[in-house]
Amino acid sequence: MKVTTIRDNSNARNTKNNIFLGVVIFFSLLTVLPIILIVGELVVKGIGQINLSFFTEIAPDTLQAMVAKANGETIPGGIANGITGSLLIVALAAVIAIPFGIITGVYLYETPGKRYSNLIRDIADVLQGVPSIVLGLIVYLWVVKHITHSYSALAGSVSLAIMMLPLIIRSTEETLKMIPGTLKEAAVALGVPYHKIILRVLIPSSFSGLLTGILISISRILGETAPLMLTTLGNPRINWDITHPTSAVPLLIWQFYNDPNMVELIWSSSLFLMGFVLTLNIISKRISAKHSIN
């Protein structure tokens, strides 16, 4: 009788476990399904425009797209001006944001209890929740109107750098907290100057975490459109001058969206942008997993 009861209880537990496992799998598939559908839609509709000219030629005009569409041909041209513009703007934003972000993160780590540190930390947290178009409007009033006096890649980089700063600051602070305190204590005991402790001990020891935060912040800004519409405006040509208007892939997607003859290029540009962002995220996760602090 006791053996039968134990067996019945075991069967009941197994049944409950199997039901719970089935529910978990079902909701997991339900969560992943929209992502699969989105990626599949982008691949199916965007792969047709992906060729060599897509990466080496500038965006076509409306007439070229209209003629190609009427003849059932692939739309000529590509998004070279958007790719080069995005690289220029993001690189300049990284040059602005990375030093300030890391230095500020180190300061927050070294002075965790000070009122000024708490204020900076609160500002960084608030900035993460500010809509990007608001930051674009602020940079338009500060940079476009009073510094460059025109739309430019520099103005767009400033707006994106402001978006990068909170992520870099907080990731730097949290990464430094994971470093064993004995490393810093050993350097102090050996008489190493304070600035060398930061440059030779703290930053190299937390390099993987810092790089991960930087890559994630870059991934975030790559697809931003609203701040660039207010600061860089766009450019039909390839431009490397930071004081002139510059195109970007998100701006081209918006431009293609407003032209019914370039719908195919929307999908191809979105596929390229998604692939680029996905690659950066995979790289950041690999670096984080490979060099994680135990």
Confidence (pLDDT) at 7: 64
Confidence (pLDDT) at 293: 45
pLDDT below 50 — which residues of the chain?
A: 293-294
What is the SS3 assignment for the chain? Answer: CHHHHHHHHHHHHHHHHHHHHHHHHHHHHHHHHHHHHHHHHHHHHHHHHCCHHHHHCCCCCHHHHHHHHHCCCCCCCCCHHHHHHHHHHHHHHHHHHHHHHHHHHHHHHHCCCCHHHHHHHHHHHHHHHCCHHHHHHHHHHHHHCCCCCCCCHHHHHHHHHHHHHHHHHHHHHHHHHCCCHHHHHHHHHCCCCHHHHHHHHHHHHCHHHHHHHHHHHHHHHHCCCHHHHHHCCCCCCCCCCCCCCCCCHHHHHHHHHCCHHHHHHHHHHHHHHHHHHHHHHHHHHHHHHHCCCC
> What distance in Å separates the CA atoms of residue 7 and residue 122, rounded to the nearest whole number?
57
pTM listed for this prediction: 0.86
Confidence (pLDDT) at 83: 94
Domains and CATH numbers, the chain: 80-290 (1.10.3720.10)
Confidence (pLDDT) at 268: 92
- For the segment 169-185, what is each residue's pLDDT rounded down to a tens digit? 999 999 898 888 888 88
Confidence (pLDDT) at 93: 95
User: For tokens 């537990």, what's the residue?
Assistant: 13
- For the segment 72-124, what is each residue's pLDDT rounded down to a tens digit? 888 888 899 999 999 999 999 999 999 999 999 999 998 888 888 999 999 99
- For the segment 236-245, what is each residue's pLDDT rounded down to a tens digit? 899 999 999 9
Confidence (pLDDT) at 74: 82
Output 145-149 pairs: Cβ under 8 A, ≥24 positions apart: 148/243
Confidence (pLDDT) at 107: 92
> What distance in Å separates the CA atoms of residue 47 and residue 250, rounded to the nearest whole number?
18
